[in-house]
Amino acid sequence: MSRSPLITWSPSVTLVPTRVCFNACGYCSFRRSPAPGELAGDGPLSDGLDAGAARVRLKASPAAREVLLLSGELPPGSRGRGNWFARLRSLSALALAAGRLPHTNAGPLSLREMSALGRLNPSLGLMLEGLGPAYDALHRQAPSKRLAVRLGQLEQAGRLGIPFTTGLLLGVGESAAQRRDALELIALLQRRWGHIQEVILQPWRPDGTTAAPLPPEAVNALLSTIAEARRILPPEVHLQLPPNLWPADRLVEALEAGIDDLGGIDTGDVINPAYPQPPPPALAERLALRGWRLRPRLCVHDRWIPWLPAPLRRRAEAMAQQLAAAG
């Protein structure tokens, strides 16, 4: 084994501020279409998560340190955008008040929005997704998924000094060269700004009745991509694989190829509900048999904690110490 036998994960609980989304990505089973007039109004969204329901969710997950805010998107400049953004802020504040750390992934943000959320969230996220005609076709109805918009967001987060999570959605018809090109772009941004704490390598899986485990040939191709990502990305960037989308009996091969993080694990996966999350104790036990140690972490990786504004930094330092003492 050539790498340190340590693999991290983030005890996490997911809150969904809304599933309403003005994009319509070809692979999405998370989104809800806006009702007529819903995007033009400034009233609350019909499925908006209120503070009471959010508190109940947090109370039900006392061990979760990360609160993942995963939201559908309202169009920039729409009347409802202000309310939508106010909800992201208030849920972030609620997470902090409950002693947790929020991590928001809600699509592209204006400079002002990102800067405001960066004062409440130790880390933010946005998938780069990928580049090439396969993504263009899937994103024909998704204006915020244009490559230039996504790259601009990674650049903006770098300029603001916000620890950032990005990633690629893999297996939608892209070539190996296009995967490489996407990784090279992330590496370039990382060399310029240093803020990319992790890159998720997410295998695309069908949901609902067509859900199926990743076939062996796809696993083999992804193992090559993982090794390539480890070669291309600077060494401080963590490589993350969602364990529920990968065959359990081949997880160690992924770790040996370069994966060193399993991401946020909640009791379920709201994006891919057909793929149950492995319970972390069972995961730890399985990995221990092969010589790997599973260690919990915060949504912001240790190296980037010193980047945070003072109040968030103090809190993250204290929580990281608690996790280390418990682990």
Binding residues (CB under 6 A) for ligand SF4: these are 21, 23-25, 28, 30-31, 72-73, 107, 142
Give the residue among 108, 200, 124, 113 at the shortest CA–CA distance from 161: 124
Q: Which is nearer to ligand SF4, 30 or 159 (CB)?
A: 30
Q: How far is the CB of 20 from ligand SF4 (least distance, A)?
A: 9
Q: Which is nearer to ligand SF4, 142 or 226 (CB)?
A: 142
Q: How far is the CB of 70 from ligand SF4 (least distance, A)?
A: 8
β-partners of residue 238 are 198
Give yes or no for a contact between 11 and 64, defined as CB atoms under 8 angstroms apart. yes
Q: Which is nearer to ligand SF4, 142 or 312 (CB)?
A: 142
Give the residue among 282, 285, 206, 292 at the shortest CA–CA distance from 253: 292
Q: How far is the CB of 207 from ligand SF4 (least distance, A)?
A: 11
Distances (CA, A) of 277 to 8, 271, 282, 286: 15, 12, 11, 14
Q: Which is nearer to ligand SF4, 84 or 304 (CB)?
A: 84
Q: How far is the CB of 84 from ligand SF4 (least distance, A)?
A: 13
Class of residue 89 by CB neighbours under 10 A (exposed 0-12, middle 13-18, buried 19+): middle
Q: How far is the CB of 29 from ligand SF4 (least distance, A)?
A: 8
Q: Which is nearer to ligand SF4, 151 or 227 (CB)?
A: 151
Q: What share of the chain is helix, strand, coil (3-state, %, to 5)?
A: 45, 15, 40
